[in-house]
């Protein structure tokens, strides 16, 4: 067990955990930030995507010991009032079915649009195709990313 001081959503949060604990479980079990979801535990589905220093990162395979002083943003901290252009676009297009994967989809899309503000359709598909949506909301995700791009 070791103590960690993590920079998450603009706050300094302390926790004690074994060094191999994935960030995902630190967020969910230790800090009560349950917006980041468990899907596969092996970086295959993208449900656990968060931003680490602005990069979309799979938190289920990132040990807490590897975080050091990196800045972490989760879905809870993406915007103050849930009004990030990607969140708004997701609502406008009414993307979710079950909604479980959508935090990961949104975090992936937000990091992607920050780097590529005017993506074409192929670029969107390339960026989003490693996030699984079992309900099949892919058309709306594509549409929402396009809409968000016009607002960022």
Q: Residue numbers of the site for another protein (CB under 8 A)?
A: 1, 17-18, 20-22, 25, 28-30, 32-42, 44-45, 47, 74-76, 78, 82, 87, 90-91, 94, 96-103, 106, 125-126, 128-142
117 vs 126, which CB is nearer to another protein?
126
56 vs 101, which CB is nearer to another protein?
101
Angle among Cα 108, 78, 126 to the nearest 5 degrees reads 10
* Cβ-based neighbour number of residue 73 at 10 Å: 20
Q: How far is the CB of 5 from another protein (least distance, A)?
A: 19
Pairing mode, strands 55-58 and 71-73: unpaired
Q: In what order do the strands lie in the sheet with 2-8?
A: 11-17, 2-8, 71-73, 49-52, 55-58
Q: How far is the CB of 70 from another protein (least distance, A)?
A: 19
Q: How far is the CB of 9 from another protein (least distance, A)?
A: 10
d(CA 103, CA 108): 9
22 vs 119, which CB is nearer to another protein?
22
Q: How far is the CB of 149 from another protein (least distance, A)?
A: 16
Cβ(39)–Cβ(59) below 8 Å: no
């Amino acid at each position: 067990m070791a103590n960690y001081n993590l920079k998450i959503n603009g706050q300094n949060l302390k926790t004690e955990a074994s060094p191999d604990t994935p960030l995902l479980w630190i967020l969910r079990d230790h800090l009560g930030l349950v917006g980041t979801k468990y899907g596969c535990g092996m970086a295959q589905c993208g449900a656990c995507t968060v931003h680490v220093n602005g990069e979309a990162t799979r938190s289920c395979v990132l040990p807490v010991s590897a975080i050091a002083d990196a800045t972490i943003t989760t879905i809870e901290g993406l915007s103050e009032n849930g009004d990030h252009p990607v969140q708004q676009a997701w609502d406008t297009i009414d993307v979710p079915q079950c909604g479980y994967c959508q935090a990961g989809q949104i975090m992936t899309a937000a990091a992607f649009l920050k780097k590529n503000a005017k993506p074409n359709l192929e670029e969107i598909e390339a960026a989003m195709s490693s996030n699984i949506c079992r309900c099949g909301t892919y058309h709306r995700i594509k549409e929402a990313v396009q809409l968000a791009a016009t607002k960022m």
